[in-house]
Amino acid sequence: MSLHPHQSSPNPVPLAQTLGVLAILILALAMPFLLDKIGLDYYLGSLTKMMIYGIAACSLNLILGYAGLVSFGHAAYMGIGAYAVGILISQGQVNAWVDISFSVLLCAFLALLMGFICLRTKGVYFIMITLAFAQMLYYLSNSIKAFGGDEGLSIKSRLDFGIQLSQKSDVHLYFLVLIFLILSLYLIHRIMNSKFGQVIKAIKDDDVRVDSIGIHAFKYKLAIFVIAGALGGLAGALMVNQQKYVSPNLLHWTQSGTLMVMVILGGVGTLSGGLWGALLLLTLESVISEYTLHWQFFVGWILLAVILMAPKGLASFSALWSARSKGRDQVPKVKTIKP
């Protein structure tokens, strides 16, 4: 049967693409040695941070790009994941496997709760309610003095992965994060190319139609929400491990906005869009800020240009999303009205 969903194995991957991925992989593996050679080993930490944000942005892309759910509260997962691991470490529990698993499961559970409530709404209300939940968690983390409150939580040591030196060495950390990044990307790739992924893409197009053929769209949306939340938690866990510090600012709505910007810049609805967006945005920030304090000015214009010019991917995404979001209970927006 030619339309059978199981036949989801993609077309044979073009040779150029494979070679490209291989080249990037080799470059990534070699980076610590290259940087060391030219005396820029300080930047290994920056690269590690970029990769961590890449994981977070890719997780957002799952719900934003693939499922079309505009969540303005995604930073909450990164923040809660970071706090979970931070608190565990400060209480003496430094086993990486225990801590990371706990953080991921906690965020998955949180996403389940939040998704259950938020996914009942649509359009701007969905945006507002996801924002509301993230802000609630932000104020919560601000208020609990035992975990630092608005001063943040500093931790004395890093996670112990069972490998010697993993706690002190920046290079080891870089490779660990790289491995997690590759695994995350692989996970996302497998999900989106599976039967489950097909349903998600169909939901983004038109979830009413999906409901009408007997597939419960809500359950699928909830599932992808949970997966995205779990991956966000992973990013947070890695973040606090690298920075040895977590503050409530990680949960603020402007952080959610930053993640969304990374997704847009990198490519909505693509596998590694989040990663490229993170690399681009953070590099822009560090480069421009060497020359001027006002780097946000330039980033703002770049972002504005991207959105207004709307490269093809963004345009098709937005048209479909707005058609869906106007919903059944409102007069459909007549696009031809131009003030």
Partner 1 sequence: MSGILILEQALNGLQFGLMLFLLASGLTLVFGIMDMINLAHGALYMIGAFLTAWLVQLTQSFFLSVFLAVILTSIFGMLLEKTLLKSLYARDHMSQVLATFALILILNESVKMIWGTDLPLSSPDYLSGPIEIIPGLMYSSYRLVIIATGLLIALFLYLVVTRTKMGAWVRAGASNREMALAMGINIDILFTAVFGLGAALCAVAGAMLAPLLAVQVGMGENILILAFVVIVIGGIGSVWGAFVGSLLVGCVDTMGRSLLPFMFREFLPPQWAGAAGPAVASILVYVLMAGVLFVRPQGLFNQRT
Partner 2 sequence: MKFKKVLALSVIGACQMLTMPMLHAADKVKVGFVSTLSGPSAALGVDIRDAFQLAVKLNGGKLGGLPAEVIISDDQFKPDVAKEQFEKMVKRDKVDFLTGVVFSNIMLAALPETVESNTFYLSPNAAPSPMAGKDCSPNFFAVAWPNDAYHEAAGQYATNKGFKSAYLLAPNYQAGQDSLAGFKRFYKGKVVNEVYTKLGQLDYAAELAEIRAAKPEILYIFLPGGMGVNFIKQFMAAGLSKETKLIVPGFGADQDIIRGVGADMLGVFDTSHWGLDLPNAANKKFVAEFEKEYKRLPTLYASQGYDTAMLIDAAVKASNGNLSDKDLVRKNLTEAKFSSVRGEFKFNTNHYPIQNYYVREVVKDEQGRLVNKIIGQPIMTRHADAYVQDCKMK
* Among 72-80, 96-104, 128-136, 151-159, the segment contacting partner 2 (CB under 8 A): 151-159
3 state SS of 56:
helix
Contact 76, 253 (CB under 8 A): no
Binding status of residue 124 toward partner 1 by CB under 8 A: yes
Both ends of the chain: CA-CA distance in Å?
A: 50
Count of residues in contact with partner 1, rule CB under 8 A:
58
| Residue 297 binds which of partner 2, partner 1, none (CB < 5-8 A, kind-dependent) | partner 1
> What is the pattern of x (binds partner 1, CB under 8 A) and - over residues 77-116?
----------------------------------------
Contact 191, 167 (CB under 8 A): no
Total residues belonging to the chain:
339
DSSP 13: P
Distance CA 290, CA 284 (A): 10
Distances (CA, A) of 185 to 10, 176, 178, 192, 208: 16, 14, 11, 11, 29
Least Å distance, CB 325 to partner 2, is 30
**Which option in partner 1, partner 2, none does residue 124 bind, with CB closer than 5 to 8 A by kind?**
partner 1
Residue (148 or 233) nearer to partner 2, CB: 148
Q: What span, in angstroms and rounded, lies between the C-alpha atoms of 317 and 303?
A: 17
Quick one: which of 304, 311, 316, 327 contacts partner 1 (CB under 8 A)?
304
Partner touching 125 among partner 2, partner 1, none, CB below 5 to 8 Å by kind = partner 1
Q: Kindly state the tokens that stand for 254.
A: 């402007």
Q: Is 121 in the site for partner 1 (CB under 8 A)?
A: yes
296 scored as a contact of partner 2 (CB under 8 A): no
Please report how close the Cβ of residue 332 comes to partner 2 at its closest, in angstroms. Answer: 35
Q: Is 328 in the site for partner 1 (CB under 8 A)?
A: no
